[in-house]
Amino acid sequence: MTFVIPPVPAVTIPVAGGNGQFPVRRIYCVGRNYAAHVREMGMDPAREAPFFFSKPTDAIVVACPESHAQIAYPPATEQFHFEIELVVAIGAAGRNIPVEQANSHIWGYAVGIDMTRRDLQIAARDKGRPWELGKSFDQSAPISALHPAAEVGHPVAGAIWLQVNGNDRQRSDLNKLIWSVPEIVANLSKFFELQPGDLIFTGTPEGIGPVRSGEVMRGGIAGLTDLEVRVA
Ligand code: MN
């Protein structure tokens, strides 16, 4: 086959403790999934059905502590915000997946940050426009190494936190998710046939805020590899 322009390289995430790589297919994200974060965004944390948005696959930046990853400060924003999140990696295809079977479709888990141009997201939200300008830009999905569920199980509780230059900014617990991971997988699979390689960012707790050039974000979730990334 002759490509008329260079083909895009595969986007992959390293598997913790080995040489394997997980190929990324699509990136889905859940909005408003911790009540305290819903309130800080000025919304009502009533338990509405989950809603989703997407990021492009090549928004991924591998940001394990040893990779010394950097992301550029993106254009067109004065409010470049972090959102620490548990990331689910799908390993088996499925649609209309029952909640009780959802975990069997999950290959593993990682720590990710849903980087957001907050000013553009809020402007889009308030005008009823799509969120892409605020959410789906280059390098907007730093992620740490992926841990197989076969090794770490399916976490339902445990610390989730983010620091900027060593200072706590977000700290909560996975047990505060409004929609559990199996509920998210089941709901998303009503709208899309999930495929191996799909990622789901499951929402952020309270404490979101801005980062500036030169600052270092470090985030973690109990039992998973920390994430570390510097804003160039
Ligand atoms: Mn988010």
pLDDT given at position 46:
79
Distance from residue 202's CA to the centre of ligand 1 (Å): 7
**What's the pLDDT score for residue 98?**
98
Res 19: pLDDT? 82
pLDDT tens for each residue of the chain, 232 residues long: 899 999 999 999 999 998 899 999 999 999 999 999 999 999 888 778 899 999 999 999 999 999 999 999 999 999 999 999 999 999 999 999 999 999 999 999 999 999 999 999 999 999 999 999 999 999 999 999 999 999 999 999 999 999 999 999 999 999 999 999 999 999 999 999 999 999 999 999 999 999 999 999 999 999 999 999 999 9
Rounded Cα–Cα distance for residues 132 and 189 (Å): 21
Radius of gyration of the chain, Cα coordinates, nearest whole angstrom: 17
Ligand 1 geometric centre to CA of 226 (Å):
18
Q: How far apart are CA 188 and CA 186, in angstroms?
A: 6
Distance from residue 137's CA to the centre of ligand 1 (Å) = 14
Ligand 1: centre distance to CA 176 (Å): 15
What is the per-residue DSSP string for 18-45? SS-EEEP--EEEEES-BHHHHHHTT---
Domain positions in the chain are 12-48+56-231
For the entire predicted model, the pTM comes to: 0.98
CATH 3.90.850.10 for domain 12-48+56-231? yes
Ligand 1 centroid to residue 18 C-alpha, Å: 29
Q: Rounded to whole angstroms, how far apart are CA atoms 58 and 214? A: 23
Distance 33 CA to ligand 1 centre (A): 8
Cα(5) to centroid of ligand 1, in Å?
A: 33
Alpha carbon of 53 to ligand 1 centroid (Å): 9
> Ligand 1 center to residue 32 CA distance, Å?
7
198 in Cβ contact with 185 (< 8 Å): no
| Neighbour-count burial of 124, counting CB atoms closer than 10 A to its CB (0-12 exposed, 13-18 middle, 19+ buried) | middle
How much distance in Å is there from the Cα of 65 to the middle of ligand 1? 21
Q: How far is CA 144 from the centre of its chain?
A: 10
The answer to whether the CB of 202 falls within 8 A of the CB of 90 is no
With contact defined as beta carbons under 8 Å apart, do 98 and 186 qualify? yes
Tokens 């997407």 correspond to: 54
The rounded Å distance from CA 214 to ligand 1 centre is 22
Rounded to the nearest angstrom, the distance between the alpha carbon of 29 and the centre of ligand 1 is 6
- Expressed in angstroms and rounded, the spacing between residue 84 Cα and the centre of ligand 1 is 8
CA of 170 to the centre of ligand 1 (A): 13
How far is ligand 1, taken at its centre, from the CA of residue 25, in Å?
19
